[in-house]
Structure 1
Amino acid sequence: MKIMLVDDEVLVLNQIQRMLSGYSGISVVGSFQNAREAIARMPELQPDVIFFDIHLPELSGIDAVELAQEACPGIDIVFVTAYNEYAIQAFELNAVDYLLKPLHQARLDHTIKRLMQRRLHKQEDIWSTAPSRVLCFRSLRFQHSSGSPEIPKWRTTKTQELFAYLLHHRGNIVLKETLLELLWPELDVKQATSQLYTSIYHIRQCLKQMGIDIPIRNLTIQEGYVLDTSCIRIDVDEWENGLRQASGGNLANNHSELLRLLELYEGDYFQEHGYGWAETERERLRKLWYQHSRLLARFYKKAGVLEEAIAMYERIQNADPYNEDDAFALIKLYTATGRRKEAERHYRKLDHLFSNELRIGLTNKLVDWFESIENEIAPDAMRVTKEDIEAETW
């Protein structure tokens, strides 16, 4: 949340900025002693909230509100003043809060909480009024705001891939010659061009029938197409933005949101379609999932929430069973929580996997550690045998 401060007293500006620095997810994008100067900078700085002193030279905070809302529609206003007689007038202007000087941290906490709630509601309102979403994780689907995901009824698989490729390059010009080489390399230019025009027509018809607002713009001069997704939500974009916000602040406050986002990853990017041209993006998004999953698992472990850490590492290992570091962390957690038979079972499965599929041995660090605690793990009657491991799948 970006906040702008406007007060003619430098000491007050410094105090508010210092108090705001203690909140995660908040940044002060500008401090000004003059309302007109602040308003002039708003289109550039794009603040979400402005803290206005009411008594300002030339233009008061009360009078500046309308100009501020013109510069940044939807901006939230908080008034800061040494006088309480303006409270009614302030709330008539839909101010979020009215703070009296000198400021107290507990009172500011209340204001920040209110601002955060308003911001959350605004985001939910935006999402609830969005006409539809495009889903790219696992498979290509459409979803209206209140419905379940639907698989589009494409005329041909080439029509589907053409739309997916334009979506992959959304907002950018895709040259017709690129599409001809990608989708119809076996045809001559005249036949391939006819197939391209026909497929574009079928895409538009399919989108229209499903009520999906995604225009395909034909750029005659550049001989290409642009898919305009400005009026639609895309799951991979929302997911990545959400990860950035959840992991960029205090994880102690954001770990639940980060877990929710990681659980939304229901499969790789266009996984079921296997498009070769999507592999780079598929791998990039997959790495983001691993990176943030490991971040959350380490957070749980450090916080002493070991069962949650185990559950997270189990998910990571199911997705990437060849990562020895993750396996080592999971085996240690099993041991630390008394699940010693599970620790031995996981170690034996990992050893079997590396020996039989990768044709390499485990690192000395893991082997030495396991051997040092092996006698403590389980009595002989409870040992996991080689036959047990071979009978299981990972």
Structure 2
Amino acid sequence: MKVIIIDDEKAMHLIMRKFLEKIPNIQIIGSFQDTNSATLFLNNQPADLAFVDISMPNESGMQFAKRMAETCNNLHIVFVTSHKEYAIDAFDIFALDYIVKPVSLERLQKTVRRALAIHPLSEGTKEDQNANRIFIYCMGGLEVRSEQGGGVKWISRKSAELFGYLLFNRGRMVSRTRLMEDIFGGMPPKNAETYLNTTIYQLRKSLEPHGLKSLVKSNTDSYGMDIADVYIDFVEFEDKLKGFDVIDASNLDEAIAIEELFVGDLFGERAFLWALSDIERFARIYAVFIKKLAMALLNDHDGDSVAVRLLHKLLARNELDEEVTTLLLNAYAAQMDRGSFIRQYRQYVKILRKELGMGPSQKLVVLYSHLLSNLDRV
């Protein structure tokens, strides 16, 4: 996969190159400090993936991405920025990913894996030229890609929301009344009906360039989505988890690979109100899986550092989770890392007292004392 880097800071070129050169199947073909130079280069040398800073001189990375969407359909854009506030705008123009600095190798690897999953589709070597397989990514955002037309560009945010709603009800027809209540709730009925009609039209127009307009089915008072042979990331994630009642040395690598499918909460920052229960359900499923995986990694002895990394991801989602803190303390004790062990415990106690006005459970206090005494004897 051919990659370019666009950032006005020369230091970021060195950092990005250092990480990207460690990732297989990546060829860095150019680095640029402004979008004009990158555009001139792309006129003669096609690239597959561009890592673009948003804050750039003259033309912003966002403006550059909008131009590329019109002229280079096969160029996937990944924003690399110090600013979190542009994320929604970035995905509205169909960025492949959005990375907040500082950049890590792990984060880049996830992005590249997603890009490589899509990349072969743009090579023009399809066995069946009439095929138009669809890839839908709902973890961390809402992204729809087709072999025929690349990424779907939503005409409006409501059209994207309607797609997500019908996707979750795939195989079932949904009444107009229910759609108006769940997506346009709070509006007067007449207004809601008008907005629904407009949004249905916008959704079909968004899908039309990809040959997907017929996905949306309708009858006299209902709408639905007819999907077959489609890759849906949250379905893939949930299906793969069903085979992991037990995680041990025999399937650790596969379990770690499955964890990487969860790149963020369902629908990411869009977080549609009607999807809140499913967002919470997937978050719980993920948490249970990571705790089980972390225990298996700790039992494997060589997986302590990976366990620590995954547990900190969980703790960032819920700082009050005592089970995660317990596993982290065990991981640090296994690493003989007395400093991190003590800091983790004290930080958890401080958060408990601040947020809940209470101390840790007696069970955790006993575990901490026991592990600390073992570390002191070393």
**TM-score normalized by structure 2?**
0.59
User: For 1:188-240, what per-residue CA distance to the aligned partner results, in whole angstroms no more than 9, with x for missing partners?
Assistant: 444432322221111111011244466111122xx211111124221111111
The answer to whether the Cα contact below 8 Å between 1:301 and 1:309 also exists between their aligned partners in 2 is yes
Q: Please tell me whether the aligned partners of residues 139 and 273 of structure 1 are also in contact (alpha carbons under 8 angstroms).
A: yes
Choose which of 284, 301, 304 in structure 1 pairs with 2:301. 304
Gaps of 5+ in 2: 1-125
Distance 1:373 1:286 in 2: 30
- 1:348-377 deviations in whole A, cap 9, x for unaligned? 111111111222111122223334555776
Give the aligned residue type for 1:236.
F
2:314 maps to amino acid: I
Note the C-alpha offset of 1:333: 2.1
Match for residue 285 of structure 2? 288
Q: Kindly indicate whether the alpha-carbon contact (under 8 Å) linking 2:154 and 2:206 is maintained by their aligned counterparts in 1.
A: yes
Paired with 1:146 and 1:209, the residues of 2 have a C-alpha distance of 8
| Counterpart-to-counterpart distance in 1, 2:352 and 2:280 | 23
Equivalent residue number for residue 313 of structure 2: 315
Match of residue 258 from structure 2? 261
Give the Cα separation in 1 of the matches to 2:239 and 2:175: 29
Question: Cα gap change, 1:342/1:250 in structure 2, threshold over 3 Å: closer, same or farther?
Answer: closer
Residues 1:372 and 1:301: Cα distance change in structure 2 (over 3 Å) = closer
Q: Secondary structure at the match of 1:155?
A: coil
The alpha-carbon deviation at position 145 of structure 1 amounts to 5.5
State the secondary structure of the residue aligned to 1:272.
Answer: helix
Q: Given that residues 130 and 233 in structure 1 are in contact (C-alpha distance below 8 angstroms), is that contact kept between their aligned partners in structure 2?
A: no
Corresponding letter in the other structure for 1:165: Y
**1:141 corresponding residue in structure 2:** 143
Alpha-carbon distance in 1 for matches of 2:165, 2:352? 37
How far is 1:259 from its partner? 0.7
Q: 1:292 to 1:168 in 2, by over 3 A?
A: same
Aligned residue number for residue 392 of structure 1: none
Structure with the larger RCO, 1 or 2 (CA within 8 Å, 6+ apart): 2
Instruction: Tell me the distance in 1 between the aligned counterparts of 2:191 and 2:335.
Output: 66
Tell me the amino acid that sits aligned with residue 282 of structure 2. L
- Where in structure 2 are the equivalents of 1:81-96 lying within 5 Å? none
CA distance in 1, matches of 2:364, 2:246: 34
Q: Which amino acid aligns with 1:241?
A: D
* Cα distance between partner residues in 1 of 2:156 and 2:280: 27
How far apart, CA to CA, are the structure 2 residues paired with 1:199 and 1:265? 29
Name which one, 1 or 2, has greater alpha-carbon Rg: 1
Aligned residue for 2:344? Answer: 346
Alpha carbons 2:294, 2:311 under 8 Å: kept = yes
Runs in 1 of length 4+ with deviation above 6 angstroms?
A: none
**Alpha-carbon distance between aligned partners in 1 of 2:245 and 2:370, rounded to the nearest angstrom:** 39
Question: Counterpart of 1:179?
Answer: 179
- What is the CA–CA distance in structure 2 between the aligned matches of 1:197 and 1:344, rounded to whole Å? 59
Aligned pairs for 1:242-261 within 5 A:
242-245=240-243, 247-248=244-245, 251-261=248-258
Aligned length: 248
How high is the sequence identity, in percent, across the aligned residues? 26
Cα 1:258–1:147, aligned 2, differ >3 Å: closer, same or farther? farther
Match of 2:360 in 1: 362
Instruction: Tell me the CA shift for residue 132 of structure 1.
Output: 2.0
In structure 2, what is the Cα distance between the partners aligned to 1:226 and 1:235? 20
**What SS does structure 1 have at the residue aligned with 2:217?**
strand
- Cα distance, 1:347–1:266 mapped onto 2, change above 3 Å: same
Match runs of 1:227-246 below 5 Å: 227-245=225-243
| CA separation of 1:256 and 1:147: change in aligned 2, threshold 3 A | farther
Q: State which of 265, 268, 273 in structure 2 corresponds to 1:271.
A: 268
Change (3 A) 1:252 1:333: closer
Separation in structure 2 between the aligned mates of residue 251 and residue 371 of structure 1, nearest angstrom: 29
**Unaligned 5+ residue runs, structure 1?**
1-124, 379-394
Asked whether the 8 Å contact 1:313–1:326 carries over to 2, the reply is yes
CA distance in 1, matches of 2:255, 2:148: 24
User: Corresponding residue for 1:170?
Assistant: 170
Counterparts in 2 of 1:337 and 1:135: CA distance versus 1, 3 Å: same
Please say if residues 148 and 211 of structure 2, whose CA atoms lie closer than 8 Å, have aligned partners that are also in contact: no
Take 1:285 and 1:278, find their aligned partners in 2: how far apart are those partners? Answer: 11
Q: Give how far 1:271 is off.
A: 2.4
Cross-structure match for 1:158: 158
Letter in 2 for 1:337: Q
Tell me whether 306-315 or 358-367 shows the greater mean CA deviation. Answer: 306-315
What SS does the aligned partner of 1:252 have? coil
**Residue 342 of structure 1: CA displacement?**
0.5
Distance change (3 Å), C-alpha of 1:263 and 1:163: same
Shift of 1:160: 2.2
- Structure 2 vs 1, CA of residues 285 and 187 (structure 1 numbering), >3 Å: closer, same or farther? closer
- Secondary structure of the equivalent of 2:269? coil
Counterparts of 1:11-50 in structure 2 under 5 Å? none
Aligned counterpart, 2:31: none
- What residue identity is the alignment partner of 2:301? G
- State TM-score, norm by structure 1: 0.57
The CA distance in 2 between the partners of 1:239 and 1:282, in whole Å, is 14
Distance (whole Å) between structure 1 residues aligned to residue 166 and residue 159 of structure 2: 11
